[in-house]
Amino acid sequence: MSALVRNLVTGGAGFLGSHLVDRLMQGGEEVICLDNYFTGRKSNVMNWISNPRFELIRHDVTEPIQLEVDRIWHLACPASPLSYQYNPIKTSKTSFLGTYNMLGLARRVKARFLMASTSEIYGNPEVHPQPESYKGCVNTIGVRSCYDEGKRIAETLCFDYYRMHELDIRVARIFNTYGPRMVENDGRVVSNFVVQALKNKPLTLYGNGNQTRSFCYVDDLVEGLIRLMNSNCLGPINLGNPMEFTIRELAELVRKKINPNLDITTHQLPQDDPVQRQPVIDLAKKELNWEPKISLENGLTKTIKYFQETIKL
């Protein structure tokens, strides 16, 4: 009988991390969930607390930790603009020191290491849609650069550990992801619109609403991460939904599903907000046999149901 695979998920109590924890636990594996609860919530993983294959540790990845694991899924870092701009220096430290510490742990215990990078490394792209070969257009001194540049140096660290120490790495560039367990006030557009609509408030649109995004439902994204970890592809590899929507189209869809009579108000576009964001996923299709299955229409229905059950109206 082979030993159980022991997984470390940093940021495991967060939105994306907790869904990954669910999949790993449902697969019969062992999971150590590491989180400092800055944006993660213990309630996201409470259903596993009494399971002997699950361990929850409150820890900040900017500090080293000694553990024995087979695989490290490094997701720890605030990902919404409101969260990562709240303490930008801390965000930069999390991306650099947190990744450095987890890579060091992976090297010591010879664990396979997957890093959750981001489409934000492409900045406000001058190439559309964005393939992995595109180097990006990032403002190094803007209000978003703590996250954008933080993830870029994290990718650099991963590949330097691969070249210097032959570390077994995987790098995923994650595009906009949504679904249950999003934090209602974290400033992401899907949760913003859904919560505003459920509270019968006008939907706030920034700019003219013609900027585009591609929205991937969380179950699809987790499937992509698992396939990447189990593959021989180092990355970086785009994981996201290639279907492109304007923010205004998203607002109209949410309004239609919840309350067609809601107003839509416009506000000034935030600094360095990308005009277009759409992944090229040819590499994921080829190397992982992966592409999203859940439509925005169906994913929004599931997300709306979650918020109806959890927020105070």
Residue 58 has pLDDT above 50, yes or no: yes
Residue 149: per-residue pLDDT: 95
At 143-167, the pLDDT tens digits run 989 999 999 999 999 999 999 999 9
Tell the residue number behind the tokens 């990006």, with chain if given: 136
HEC-encoded secondary structure of the chain: CCCCCEEEEECCCCHHHHHHHHHHHHCCCEEEEEECCCCCCHHHHHHHCCCCCEEEEECCCCCCCCCCCCEEEECCCCCCHHHHHHCHHHHHHHHHHHHHHHHHHHHHHCCEEEEEEEHHHHECCCCCCECCCCCCECCCCCCCHHHHHHHHHHHHHHHHHHHHHCCCEEEEEECCEECCCCCCCCCCHHHHHHHHHHCCCCEEEECCCCCEECCEEHHHHHHHHHHHHCCCCCCCEEECCCCCEEHHHHHHHHHHHHCCCCCEEEECCCCCCCCCCCECCHHHHHHHCCCCCCCHHHHHHHHHHHHHHHCCC
Average pLDDT for 176-205 = 91
What domains are defined for the chain? 6-178+216-242+274-293 (3.40.50.720)
Question: What is the C-alpha separation between 313 and 309, in angstroms, rounded?
Answer: 10
Residue 2 has pLDDT above 90, yes or no: no
From 47-61, 169-183, 265-279, the region with the lowest mean pLDDT: 265-279
Residue of 84, 100, 122, 147 marked active site: 147
Residue 134 has pLDDT above 90, yes or no: yes
Average pLDDT for 106-126 = 95
Question: What is the C-alpha separation between 43 and 299, in angstroms, rounded?
Answer: 22
Peptide bond into 131 cis (omega under 30): no
CB 231 within 8 A of CB 120: no
Tell me, what amino acid is at 250? L
Residue 208: per-residue pLDDT: 81
Q: What is the dihedral of CA 83, 84, 85, 88, to 10 degrees?
A: 140
Peptide bond into 129 cis (omega under 30): yes
Residue 304 has pLDDT above 60, yes or no: yes
Residue 1 has pLDDT above 60, yes or no: no
Residue 172: per-residue pLDDT: 98
pTM for the full model? 0.94
At 242-273, the pLDDT tens digits run 999 999 999 999 999 999 989 998 877 666 56
Question: What tokens does 107 get?
Answer: 């090297």
Residue 271: per-residue pLDDT: 65
Question: What is the C-alpha separation between 172 and 169, in angstroms, rounded?
Answer: 10
CB 227 within 8 A of CB 292: no
Average pLDDT for 55-71 = 97
pLDDT band at 237 (very low <50, low <70, confident <90, very high): very high
CB 275 within 8 A of CB 211: yes
Question: What is the C-alpha separation between 200 and 194, in angstroms, rounded?
Answer: 10
CB 175 within 8 A of CB 240: yes
Residue 278 has pLDDT above 80, yes or no: yes
From 142-151, 173-182, 272-281, the region with the lowest mean pLDDT: 272-281
86 is catalytic: no
Average pLDDT for 86-114 = 96
Tell me, what amino acid is at 195? V
Higher pLDDT, 80 or 228: 228
Q: What is the pLDDT of the chain when averaged over all its residues?
A: 93
